[in-house]
Amino acid sequence: MRYLISVSYDGDKLYGFERQPRKKTVQGELERVLTKINKTTVLIKGAGRTDRGVHAYDQKAHFDLNINITCDGLKRAMNSMLDPSVYVNSVKTVDNEFHARFDVKKKVYRYDINLGEYNPVINSYVYNYNRNLNVSKMKKAAKYLLGINNYEAFTSGERDNYNSIIYKITFSKKDDILSIKFEGKAFFRYMVRNLVGALILVGEGKVEPEYIQELINNKKVKKRYVTAPPNGLFLMKVDY
């Protein structure tokens, strides 16, 4: 039987999503408890990988079990054994052809930036930038990122295809926390953090909003942005 789970986790307490030898990771934790429940080795396939320090409210993963257990029973069993930094939100059965990564239709990420005074209490869950930004210019720059584009300028590492779709980018502010939400088809390695870094560069007034368009259209344009730290990033939702 194939199962699909929704998982939330505190990235500050983990070494990222992907399993690593002698390191506590999301995949490692899930496979550890599932193997105990199933009594044979269970490997999971996630909707994507998040880096060390990145958090999630609704990461998705699928796996196969050869035991008879209800979805509610499986959820309770997993949560009773998982590290407190990881929690299974829901469990459901899916078709055996379903794939948690390849069947994704949309992912939603949020990045939180503290524009106010440094706050050590929330340091693991925001980017303590602690200065003002020109949000109006950042919003203008974000429009150049929408639609179908080649996002090589915002992707770390090499891959065969850098094309994806960003459907929507929205900004909101509560007290001193600026939140930027990205909704898209797929986000590559460090892509959201690089997008945030480029938008911050615009917000600082060091480049004009059109710089973002130049990065997309011209590979020779120099990358001047700094990758935003992982602690402000949250995977909010994965849709199928």
Supply the residues annotated as catalytic. Answer: 51
Q: How confident is the model at residue 157 (pLDDT cuts 50, 70, 90)?
A: confident
CB 229 within 8 A of CB 111: no
Quote the tokens at residue 47. Answer: 């909707």
Q: How confident is the model at residue 219 (pLDDT cuts 50, 70, 90)?
A: confident
Q: How confident is the model at residue 205 (pLDDT cuts 50, 70, 90)?
A: very high
pLDDT tens for residues 22-53?
999 999 999 999 999 999 999 999 999 999 99
pLDDT tens for residues 66-117?
999 999 999 999 999 999 999 999 999 999 999 999 999 999 999 999 999 9
Among residues 110, 85, 123, which one has the least CA distance to residue 7?
85
Q: 237: how many CB neighbours lie within 10 A of its CB?
A: 18
- State the SS3 of 119-134: CHHHCCCCEECCCCCC
Among residues 70, 61, 24, which one has the least CA distance to residue 43?
61
Average pLDDT, the chain: 97
CB 51 within 8 A of CB 227: no
Where does CATH 3.30.70.580 sit in the chain?
A: 2-94
Distance (Å, rounded) from C-alpha 9 to C-alpha 32? 16
Q: Is the per-residue pLDDT at 220 higher than 90? A: no
Greatest C-alpha distance within the chain: 59
**What is the pTM assigned to this prediction?**
0.94
Percentage of residues of the chain with pLDDT beyond 90: 97
CB 166 within 8 A of CB 183: yes
| Amino acid present at 118 | Y
Domain 2-94 has CATH 3.40.50.1820: no
String of DSSP letters for the chain: -EEEEEEEE-GGGSS-SS-BTTB--HHHHHHHHHHHHHSS----EES----TT-EEEEEEEEEE--S---HHHHHHHHHHHS-TTEEEEEEEEE-TT--TTTT--EEEEEEEEE-SS--GGGTTTSEE--S---HHHHHHHHGGG-EEEE-GGG--S--S--EEEEEEEEEEEETTEEEEEEEES---TTHHHHHHHHHHHHHTTSS-THHHHHHHH-TTS-----PPPGGGEEEEEEE-
pLDDT tens for residues 171-183?
999 999 999 999 9
- The second-level CATH assignment, the architecture, of 106-239 is 2-Layer Sandwich (3.30)
